[in-house]
Structure 1
Amino acid sequence: MKSQITNALSDFFFEYETPRQVLVRNRRVGVVCRLIQLGVLAYIIGWVFIYEKGYQTTDTAVSSVFTKMKGVGYTNVNGSERVWDVADYIFPPQGDSSFVVMTNYIITENQTMGKCPELEGANNCSSNADCDEGRFKRTGHGHMTGVCVQSTRTCEVLAWCPVEDDRKIPYPPHLMSAENYTLFIKNSVTFPTFGVTRSNLVEGIDTAYISKCSFHPEDDPLCPIFKLGDIVQMSGFNFETIAHKGGAIGIVIDWTCNLDVDVKHCKPDYRFHGLYGNPDEVDKTRASVGYNFRYAKHYMEDKIPKRTLLKVFGIRIDIIVKSLARKFDIIPTLTAIGSGVGIFGVATVVCDLVLLYLLPKREFYKNMKFKYTDTHPKDPDSETGSTETQK
């Protein structure tokens, strides 16, 4: 027993086993093997290393966006002239990455809290019984008093009076001059893994350049100043159409950087996408087309609280930062090489299947590849008597 254990340990530590190989001279199988290996090699080099950059590690950026709108709008509604500046037409005013530029509006001035009749339509009535006191309708403007106003045949409500009439949206839009507004975008990104910080104000962009440049996808692709009309056009919309009822546009700032080269080549790429606002939107139900919200300016007049209500139609701008930085790393490189070498085994498996199951001489190839051993024990207590045969 001791000698058997010693021999087993000796065989384990001091012997090396290698698989048996059979060289098969067959043109068809050889061509199949080389084609598979060539395909695997093309996959490793072309897809893994060149296209997917399998030799690099990746990181996404921590980003900050600051915006500033400039421009003056002019309206002349029923002989009333007015100039609109940034404080009037931008919501919210903090310079966020998501904001709304007002392009059209419905204004209801000098509203006071009181009792007044509703608009005709869903709030019609023929008697007080049609106006449930203490309730309000979903399409209504206030708290119903239970009175049916006979002059208008609508329910009386406690609300801001006179109630807003938004059934007709002004066309053409009041603020068509918004097409000439300019948007300044300042964006900073940091790739924490690589310790790299970049700004869209890259090398060569200074105060003198910004004061005279205007973004153009081919002639001036790095200028951070964008004309609102150009943004709408590059997103695939018509300005007058989207300005009428409002809509939304996405501005994507793409930071795709290869940090194996000089960091100065890491520059932003701007893309523009129309999100919604076209009359030919996919939504065939035409439900809630456009973009709008209400905004009230409160004030006191003769100690009476009043307000001016605006239903604002505008273009919502969403600035989205997309980032991916790559840099060489030995660990993903070795991983990619190792997985590629393992895939080469596919050629062996396919060729073995062809040899052993598809070719006319498959039995001959089986006998050459496999070595069969038959054991015929002569004595139950003996380990001798095994014979080895080849088929």
Structure 2
Amino acid sequence: MTHDKGCCGSVCQCFFEYATPKILVIRSKKVGTVNRLIQALIIAYVIGYVCVLKRGYQDTDSVISSVTTKVKGIALTDTPDLGLRVWDVADYVIPPQVPPTPEEEEESSFFVLTNMIITPNQTQSHCPEVPGLNCSWTCTLDADCTPGLKDVRGNGVQTGNCVNYNATVKTCEVLAWCPLESEEVNMTMPPMLADAENFTVLIKNNIRYPKFNFNKRNILPHITRDYLTHCIYNATTDPDCPIFTLKYIVSAAQEDFQTMAMLGGVIGIQIRWDCDLDMPASWCIPRYSFRRLDNKDPENNVAPGYNFRFAKYYKTANDVEVRTLIKGFGIRFDVMVFGEAGKFSIVPMLLNIGAGLALLGVVTVVCDWIVLTFMKKKHQYAEEKYSYVDDFGLLSETAE
């Protein structure tokens, strides 16, 4: 019986093929060495890297955290505007330390006032606009001013009058809180609250790994109330103390506190909880690190630091409302908590080991490629490795 090989001799024949495994033992020191070397590398990767270093035998969970802070400290200032004054936590921590809302807990931050510009005894009245902020505010005639104009960058509503700001400059008069704030920070003087570097902050951090029902806080079990009354955190001598001086935090972020206190900034307090729950719970402890978060680029120093304005209001004996305006500069501290916990579980262990051992199939592919490409007897190996059997003849003999 004859067979038409027109189609089956090309694409159709390849489609209707079945390959059965065939073991070909090649006695070669070169190929054998490559084979064992690759096997050893894969086994070392599975055992050493996946299982030991990356703990591939563990199930993992991400940390859930809450943070509360409490700042303490006293500062003494003597200024022309305020005179001799003592500052306590209610004055320099803004906003006041009240129980945070759930949204504020996510931020876990606090702000400490370090420097300020004070404009006392402001009342609702008429005064000249501050020159220099906007060229349209300077004038020579009343016609240069627009009555009722409310410039978002200005300090009040223009009255339409051009008045003397000083002996040489005229500006448009405005209805506003007068006198207007016009001072700039004097960088040659120390910050007003220079003593803020000695303030301390107690950071209370509670963490939970819900998958493993594991809870802990950074005030460790061996810490007593008496210990908290005198301890100060130091990474070398006192790493378990949860009380930090602001100067230490800023210094650990590679910044100078007095310099940063002039215009303010943002410091990140990072707490990392990486816990191996197969080990004793006492081994799960927080690790602290600190870094500056706001941009400090000497080539792009527009609007540096961190500041905002707030006012304190009161009334005089004549029932006139008066306020003291304060432009406050300070340091915002953001507490950020990271972490991952792992615990032994048979499922991830089998998955990681299985995935690693599956790589052993690469050994056969590499060795076959070497043998069939670079060996002197590659054609002989090819003939021994691949055998072709045509089943058309077998089918014909069965049919007869």
Q: TM-score, normalised by structure 2?
A: 0.87
Q: Which amino acid aligns with 1:29?
A: V
Could you tell me how far 1:18 is from its partner in structure 2? 7.2
CA distance in 2, matches of 1:346, 1:116: 83
Answering whether residue 220 of structure 2 is matched by residue 223 of structure 1, we say no
2:96 match: 93
The SS at the match of 2:383 is helix
Q: Which amino acid aligns with 2:47?
A: I
CA distance in 1, matches of 2:297, 2:35: 51
The equivalences for 1:138-157 within 5 A come to 138-152=152-166, 153-157=170-174
The SS at the match of 1:384 is helix
Deviations 1:198-233 (A, max 9, x none): 011112111011011110001100101111111111
CA distance in 2, matches of 1:220, 1:18: 68
CA distance in 2, matches of 1:192, 1:186: 19
4+ residue runs over 4 A deviation:
375-378
CA distance in 2, matches of 1:367, 1:201: 73
Could you tell me how far 1:147 is from its partner in structure 2? 1.5
CA distance in 2, matches of 1:113, 1:353: 89
Contact 2:76 2:87 in 1 (8 A): yes
CA distance in 1, matches of 2:183, 2:157: 19
Structure 1: 5+ residue stretches without partners: 1-16, 387-391
Answering whether residue 261 of structure 2 is matched by residue 243 of structure 1, we say yes
CA distance in 1, matches of 2:292, 2:390: 76
1:331 match: 347
Could you tell me how far 1:51 is from its partner in structure 2? 1.6
2:3 match: none
The number of equivalent residue pairs is: 364
1:274 match: 292
CA distance in 2, matches of 1:321, 1:291: 23
2:181 match: 164
The SS at the match of 2:117 is strand
The SS at the match of 1:31 is helix
Deviations 1:128-166 (A, max 9, x none): 232222223343111112211135401111111111113
2:305 match: 290
Could you tell me how far 1:375 is from its partner in structure 2? 5.6
2:41 match: 39
Could you tell me how far 1:78 is from its partner in structure 2? 3.1
The equivalences for 1:185-224 within 5 A come to 185-224=203-242
Answering whether residue 397 of structure 2 is matched by residue 384 of structure 1, we say yes
Between 1:299-308 and 1:153-162, the stretch displaced more is 299-308
Answering whether residue 52 of structure 2 is matched by residue 50 of structure 1, we say yes
| Cα 1:284/1:219, change in 2 over 3 Å | same
The SS at the match of 1:68 is strand
Deviations 1:23-67 (A, max 9, x none): 111121111111111111121122111221111011112211111
CA distance in 2, matches of 1:36, 1:134: 83
Contact 1:375 1:385 in 2 (8 A): no
CA distance in 1, matches of 2:232, 2:203: 12
The equivalences for 1:10-89 within 5 A come to 19-78=21-80, 80-89=83-92
Between 1:135-144 and 1:226-235, the stretch displaced more is 135-144
Contact 1:254 1:268 in 2 (8 A): yes
Contact 2:128 2:164 in 1 (8 A): no
Identity of aligned residues (%): 44
Structure 2: 5+ residue stretches without partners: 1-18, 101-107
CA distance in 1, matches of 2:282, 2:150: 62
2:118 match: 107
Q: Which amino acid aligns with 2:332?
A: R
Contact 1:376 1:385 in 2 (8 A): no
Q: Which amino acid aligns with 1:246?
A: G
Q: Which amino acid aligns with 1:90?
A: V
Contact 1:63 1:187 in 2 (8 A): yes
The SS at the match of 1:372 is coil
| Cα 1:262/1:151, change in 2 over 3 Å | closer
CA distance in 2, matches of 1:173, 1:116: 29
Could you tell me how far 1:276 is from its partner in structure 2? 2.9
The SS at the match of 1:147 is strand
Contact 1:106 1:169 in 2 (8 A): no
2:192 match: 174
| Cα 1:237/1:38, change in 2 over 3 Å | same
CA distance in 1, matches of 2:165, 2:334: 47
| Cα 1:168/1:115, change in 2 over 3 Å | same
Between 1:329-338 and 1:92-101, the stretch displaced more is 92-101
CA distance in 2, matches of 1:144, 1:383: 108
CA distance in 2, matches of 1:289, 1:367: 76
CA distance in 2, matches of 1:29, 1:108: 86
Between 1:250-259 and 1:167-176, the stretch displaced more is 167-176
CA distance in 2, matches of 1:377, 1:191: 68
The SS at the match of 2:362 is helix
CA distance in 1, matches of 2:375, 2:196: 76
Answering whether residue 371 of structure 2 is matched by residue 355 of structure 1, we say yes
Could you tell me how far 1:283 is from its partner in structure 2? 5.8
The equivalences for 1:110-125 within 5 A come to 110-121=121-132, 122=134, 123-125=137-139
1:11 match: none
Between 1:309-318 and 1:113-122, the stretch displaced more is 113-122
| Cα 1:376/1:199, change in 2 over 3 Å | closer
Could you tell me how far 1:372 is from its partner in structure 2? 1.2
